[in-house]
Amino acid sequence: MLDVFRIDETNAAPVAEPANFTGRVRMQRVSDEGGSEDFEIYVVYFDAGSRTRPHTHPGEQILVFVRGNGFVHLIGEDEQRVPEGGIVVVPAGVLHMHGALDGEPVTHVATRASNGPTDWDPEVPPEWQQYAKAE
């Protein structure tokens, strides 16, 4: 019998590596709840103005914005606003950030293949230094 999981903020916990985020962020690790070994599926709850730090993934990442309006920012492009219900595919190896706008919290489901670790220490251009991980 299949397990059915729900987006439920009461199942969220503080992120394991808070230095990779700014502001308050919590995560429901659905793939862990379901025992998945091939995919990472996380429901990420960002307080207003919270975001990830710049990072890359070895494969594509899919972000599904399920509550609130957020953003995704790819290197070399303008910050892209993503409305509730929006779905974004972040290309493999592309430096990016994502999270909540200043005025409201956002929740998105982030999924990707478990094909290698996220790089939280990539080279960051000068215009993104304010978001880079503190040394």
Domains and CATH numbers, the chain: 9-119 (2.60.120.10)
The radius of gyration computed from the CA coordinates of the chain, to the nearest angstrom, equals 14
- pLDDT recorded at residue 134: 57
How many helices (H) and strands (E) the chain has is answered by: 1, 11
Half-sphere exposure of 135 (CA within 13 A, CB side): 2
Query: Nearest-CA neighbor of 81 among 60, 61, 59, 104?
Result: 104
Q: What is the pTM of this model?
A: 0.94
- pLDDT recorded at residue 100: 98
* Residue 3: band (very low, low, confident or very high) from pLDDT cuts 50, 70, 90: confident
The string of pLDDT tens digits covering residues 26-63 is 999 999 888 898 999 999 999 999 999 999 999 999 99
CA 13 to chain centre: 14
For residue 87, pLDDT beyond 80: yes
The string of pLDDT tens digits covering residues 90-125 is 999 999 999 999 999 999 999 999 999 999 999 999
Evaluate whether 120 touches 84 at the Cβ level (below 8 Å): no
Evaluate whether 57 touches 63 at the Cβ level (below 8 Å): no
Give the three-state DSSP class for 122.
Answer: coil
- pLDDT recorded at residue 132: 86
